[in-house]
Chain A
């Protein structure tokens, strides 16, 4: 009797056995269902978070450095860095004069503002003071009009580029370009509208924003004179060299002597990604371990019921052996039964998980990939095989004479 045939027979027999004990099968499978639902949801959440993160990051690009007062992941104690000099607009302009011509640089400063148009007001708008190269350093695309020009930045003109949310809220029917909005009671002429960008990590809205010349922002709109310098070096291959070069330029701007420590930080998204992956890896493994425990408990339930099933069917095992079933055949029969139970549980679990993910995906980043589906199903089958092994082994080793005598 060949192996494929044995498997087919095993499937037939186990399907029969499962159907003839519907209630028991459902209750037993419940443990596996819960296990698979939690494991799958955990996996989907982690994957969703990772995808959302890398989507958001890749929109900006990993070849962008941010020269700022502080490092994002500094190990220096706070007392050592808190008295650092601010990076002023003049520092930024000096940096741009000294920069490598291949770089694209913009100077940025960010605040929150209320933007008004007539009687309408938008609150909590991200107000970005910036320079003409911002579309390059932040990967912005315009749906209408143009971005700020160098002349407007130099002249700190009252012009602005608005995010798509502001455009649709204030100007639902016509073009926004050429109209004015008020920020802190000063009028700004709209010269362009950004394309829709979505949410960062699926949470923070990027379209509720407004861009103005950084010169005007620092002088008129902000209480806080500091800026950051965004440098797109344009090449990923020698990112560490580029970082050193950026650092060198900034040290020159700051007039630091060779022995002095940096009084600024050169940050990159690469570092952020690394940190994020570390964190999501830890959350992922702890989460999967905890959810895996529920699957383990489910597996114990399967093992238990398989022992019951073997004991109940001792006579059947005796009959099968008497008419020629080999040990392997009996072993396979019960292994397949356990695996089928778990697979059914896994499928039900996946259906539930899929529904749950479908329900939350409007407000949470989560997605079910074919890989997660495959892993869940394989895991449930493996759980069945592991849990079913001892009961099946016991069945396979039964003495046919004893088994036939069993009432």
Chain B
């Protein structure tokens, strides 16, 4: 099974394996937003390399990056970032729209994704008719609907109270156990401790990289459908621009 590598800033290289649950921590200015944008293919490094599933991402143009984001990355944001005028179903369908899936098929997949996050009875509610926790669940369903290689969450509990926050983290734990690769960017120690690996950044450098708990799950249960067997390692070697 392929690994996912992030060669890190300056002299360090990072590698993230498929099926890992990683938390990225660091104070503001530590470069964690930049790292997140690079991992999420929203940005490309000015020098250095980022390899995702064996594919060089660094020198791709806007449209290729958009296609990669669509297929390989699922975003979960602090502020949910749902489209306000569209209902939950439509929001979850959106990545499938950009992937060019025909409408009936797209609806089926989106319904299933919403079912997975426990929102079957809320599919026609608009974001403003949903609670914060429900909104974040819609966002998670949207992030996973294209079966991406990485679920990338930026402060996923930042706008939630502690109860719904821990519900979302419970959902993440469940997704991890189903074999998804999770990368959570956070500044909350408590949230980070839910992951199996914590990468701490400081001033553009990796300050520490510790593994905790049962960081490996048995390979036969890692049945995440988005991982193709041919997938290669993923690495990132950003230049000094990340500092």
Chain A positions within 8 Å of B, measured between CB atoms, are: 1-2, 5, 9, 16-17, 20, 315-316, 318-329, 400-401, 404
- The answer to whether A320 and B94 touch across the interface, beta carbons within 8 angstroms, is yes
CA distance A327 to B65 in the complex (A): 11
Q: Which chain B residues border A400 with CB–CB below 8 Å? A: 42
- The answer to whether B43 and A321 touch across the interface, beta carbons within 8 angstroms, is no
- The answer to whether B85 and A16 touch across the interface, beta carbons within 8 angstroms, is yes
User: Which of A20, A322, A323, A400 has most chain B Cβ within 10 Å?
Assistant: A323
Q: A319 to nearest B CB, angstroms?
A: 5
CA distance A82 to B99 in the complex (A): 83
Q: B31 to nearest A CB, angstroms?
A: 14
* Those of B59-77 within 8 Å (CB) of chain A: 62-63, 66-67, 69-71, 75, 77
Instruction: Report which of A1, A315, A318, A327 forms a contact with B98, defined as CB distance below 8 A.
Output: A1
Q: A181 to nearest B CB, angstroms?
A: 77
The answer to whether the Cβ of B40 comes within 8 Å of any Cβ in the partner chain is yes
Q: A321-B66, A326-B63 are in contact. Are A9 and B81 (CB under 8 A)?
A: no
- The answer to whether A324 and B71 touch across the interface, beta carbons within 8 angstroms, is yes
CA distance A156 to B48 in the complex (A): 111
- The answer to whether B69 and A5 touch across the interface, beta carbons within 8 angstroms, is no
Q: Which chain B residues border A321 with CB–CB below 8 Å? A: 42, 66, 69
- The answer to whether A401 and B37 touch across the interface, beta carbons within 8 angstroms, is yes
Q: A1-B100, A315-B81 are in contact. Are A323 and B63 (CB under 8 A)?
A: no
Q: Which chain B residues border A323 with CB–CB below 8 Å? A: 69-70, 75, 94-95, 98, 142
- The answer to whether B69 and A327 touch across the interface, beta carbons within 8 angstroms, is no
Taking A1-B99, A9-B97, A404-B77 as known contacts, 13 extra A-B pairs with beta carbons closer than 8 A to each other, sorted by chain A number, are A1-B98, A16-B85, A16-B86, A315-B81, A316-B83, A320-B83, A320-B94, A321-B69, A323-B94, A324-B99, A326-B63, A326-B67, A404-B42
Q: Which chain A residues border B82 with CB–CB below 8 Å? A: 319
Q: A324-B98, A324-B99, A327-B63 are in contact. Are A401 and B85 (CB under 8 A)?
A: no
Q: Which chain B residues border A16 with CB–CB below 8 Å? A: 85-86
- The answer to whether A325 and B66 touch across the interface, beta carbons within 8 angstroms, is yes
Listed by A's residue number, 16 A-B pairs whose Cβ atoms lie within 8 Å are A1-B98, A1-B99, A17-B85, A318-B81, A321-B42, A321-B66, A322-B40, A323-B75, A323-B94, A323-B142, A326-B62, A326-B98, A327-B66, A400-B42, A401-B37, A404-B81
- The answer to whether B81 and A319 touch across the interface, beta carbons within 8 angstroms, is yes
Q: Which chain B residues border A325 with CB–CB below 8 Å? A: 66, 98
Instruction: Report which of B43, B67, B94, B100 forms a contact with A401, defined as CB distance below 8 A.
Output: B43
- The answer to whether B63 and A322 touch across the interface, beta carbons within 8 angstroms, is no
> How many A-B contacts if CB must be within 8 Å?
64
CA distance A318 to B42 in the complex (A): 10
Q: A90 to nearest B CB, angstroms?
A: 88
Identity of the chain A residue whose Cβ is nearest the Cβ of B102 in the assembled complex: A5
Instruction: Report which of B37, B69, B83 forms a contact with A324, defined as CB distance below 8 A.
Output: B69
Identity of the chain A residue whose Cβ is nearest the Cβ of B81 in the assembled complex: A319
CA distance A71 to B224 in the complex (A): 93
- The answer to whether B62 and A5 touch across the interface, beta carbons within 8 angstroms, is no
CB-CB nearest 9 A-B residue pairs:
A324-B70, A1-B100, A324-B98, A326-B66, A323-B95, A326-B63, A319-B81, A400-B42, A401-B42
**What 0/1 pattern do residues 94 to 126 of B give for CB contact below 8 A with A?**
110111100000000000000000000000000
CA distance A401 to B42 in the complex (A): 6
**What 0/1 pattern do residues 12 to 27 of B give for CB contact below 8 A with A?**
0000000000000000
Q: Which chain A residues border B77 with CB–CB below 8 Å? A: 404
Q: Which chain B residues border A20 with CB–CB below 8 Å? A: 85
Q: Which chain B residues border A326 with CB–CB below 8 Å? A: 62-63, 66-67, 98
